[in-house]
Structure 1
């Protein structure tokens, strides 16, 4: 097959709209590293996150954020498992992650955006995107209560700090963790979040049609300053045109704040970083269409929303 399908990952092998397909690949990576036949916590977490996003988890509505949807979290989770694998295979004398922390890292990826999902008794917010500026903190609180239910009690307190590496509520330099290994997990997770979404086959279409409406609902298309209101994104097309500039910011975050952890994908893939190849292809296309009077985006992203 010469073209990548919209619902598949950067290898064009794993259907990232299907939790079963992603779970099978993550468990395969886990077993190849640790030679363990069981990954009970991982299996439970995949089942629970699927229920959560489909509105079948007690006390929560279904996911209604089309950009931060089930495919997004599965893409990030797959990328996280691959970065963990790349690190473990190339760490040399560095600290081993080990099977328990591998499971923790994957589970943090699965639930890193759970803060967008509304509780059933939420009468104040009509859409999950209204939680944009504080969804990471909401997700951190969820994980603190959730991890003990799947046998990972010892990580309940630190998981929230790891998840904060994916957001902008706290600068990375201010995130406190009890040991360097947790900073590594956070850096891997923050990196997975960036490279997974920006390498998506339909990334630009998703930015235009799905992310911009979330930004509007979250109140971040405009910003109040001491000199008045600043328009951050004037339209969905403006968001797409500003994507190359965002990539420059994201690149600095990947290389400096997150310590270049994305490069472990090279080891996993045996030499090439397929994520960065796809990211750069998307950015080159964004640069080409950015100067046009009218954006030409024709790909059709799959939908995982079940409302």
Structure 2
């Protein structure tokens, strides 16, 4: 069967498939790439999310889960690959630091074992610095202080309210790694084949975090297109250097497809959202029936 849709290539729910693909794209440009540190951290983060890392509870945020992390690592590796196809050169060390930042970027939403109040969603505001703190502890005996600060700066590029221009990257290369991560975090979410359904889970996280502007899950869905156009798209274009343009080079070079499948998936999601909003008007039951793929509507109501 011909592969034409984003999820026909790698399913972010298959963590080992993601790990192999990430290493595969790096090795096309660096055939001798070791990958030992990437593998170690990948396994550590996987254990952390699933409650097998000493001192921590399992992840209990249903939207920001390990699959989301895998989808961001995958998208980031694709952006790096696409940029290298276009003539940019990145060392193995720089690529590793970039990929590690993607692995660590949301671990700040995971609670320590003695934190039994609520879920990790309560850390939504400020979780990036918690992620950085865990990263420092996890890598303190492995990487230099400069490398750790490079990774921390990249993670800060996922803070929506922080302009990356305010981050004092040590090098231009690491600034671009930060741009890749900030872009991958947005693209991976909005291109998700179950993005609209998963927004019901994201609302539950917003509610616990007491974020203003979303009284109901329906409010979040109503504001989704505007979020993409006025927040995500503007950040991608203005703050993150338009590096999402490299997705097309990735699909063209690696798979022989002259299209950006992330862009297509995002447009499909938003167009479907428009159609069900216009078809259901204010009928919430109608709307929920249109979001039954993957069982996420039922999961949100548990």
Same fold (TM over 0.5): yes
1:213: which partner in 2?
204
Cα distance, 1:173 vs. partner? 2.6
1:45: which partner in 2?
41
1:107 aligns with 2:100: yes
1:268 aligns with 2:264: no
Asked if structure 2 preserves the Cα contact closer than 8 Å seen for 1:199 and 1:275, the reply is: yes
Asked if structure 2 preserves the Cα contact closer than 8 Å seen for 1:14 and 1:22, the reply is: yes
Q: Deviations over 1:263-292 (max 9, x none)?
A: 111111113111111011101111122232
1:192 aligns with 2:184: yes
Cα distance, 1:37 vs. partner? 5.1
**Distance in 1 (alpha carbons) for counterparts of 2:33 and 2:295:** 35
1:257 aligns with 2:218: no
Q: Deviations over 1:55-83 (max 9, x none)?
A: 11111111100000011000000000000
**Distance in 1 (alpha carbons) for counterparts of 2:68 and 2:209:** 18
1:177 aligns with 2:169: yes
Equivalent of 1:298 in 289, 292, 300: 292
3-state SS of 1:97 partner: coil
Q: Residues 286 and 138 of structure 1: is their aligned pair in 2 closer, same or farther, counting only changes over 3 Å?
A: same
Equivalent of 1:135 in 118, 121, 127: 127
2:109: which partner in 1?
116
Cα distance, 1:168 vs. partner? 2.7
**Distance in 1 (alpha carbons) for counterparts of 2:242 and 2:62:** 29
**Distance in 2 (alpha carbons) for counterparts of 1:170 and 1:276:** 24
2:214: which partner in 1?
233
**Distance in 1 (alpha carbons) for counterparts of 2:3 and 2:295:** 15
- Structure with more helix by fraction: 2
**Distance in 2 (alpha carbons) for counterparts of 1:116 and 1:152:** 25
Cα distance, 1:152 vs. partner? 5.9
Please report the TM-score for the alignment, with normalisation by the length of structure 2: 0.88
Taking the TM superposition and a 5 Å limit, the aligned residue runs for 1:68-107 are 68-91=64-87, 94=88, 96-107=89-100
Asked if structure 1 preserves the Cα contact closer than 8 Å seen for 2:3 and 2:9, the reply is: no
Asked if structure 1 preserves the Cα contact closer than 8 Å seen for 2:72 and 2:184, the reply is: yes
Q: Residues 18 and 11 of structure 1: is their aligned pair in 2 closer, same or farther, counting only changes over 3 Å?
A: closer
**Distance in 1 (alpha carbons) for counterparts of 2:142 and 2:6:** 30
Q: Deviations over 1:104-158 (max 9, x none)?
A: 11111111100100111225x4210000001111111222222234446541122
Cα distance, 1:199 vs. partner? 0.5
Q: Which runs of 5+ in 1 are unaligned?
A: 223-231
Cα distance, 1:234 vs. partner? 2.1
Please report the TM-score for the alignment, with normalisation by the length of structure 1: 0.87
2:193: which partner in 1?
201
Cα distance, 1:36 vs. partner? 1.1
**Distance in 1 (alpha carbons) for counterparts of 2:156 and 2:209:** 18
**Distance in 2 (alpha carbons) for counterparts of 1:149 and 1:19:** 26
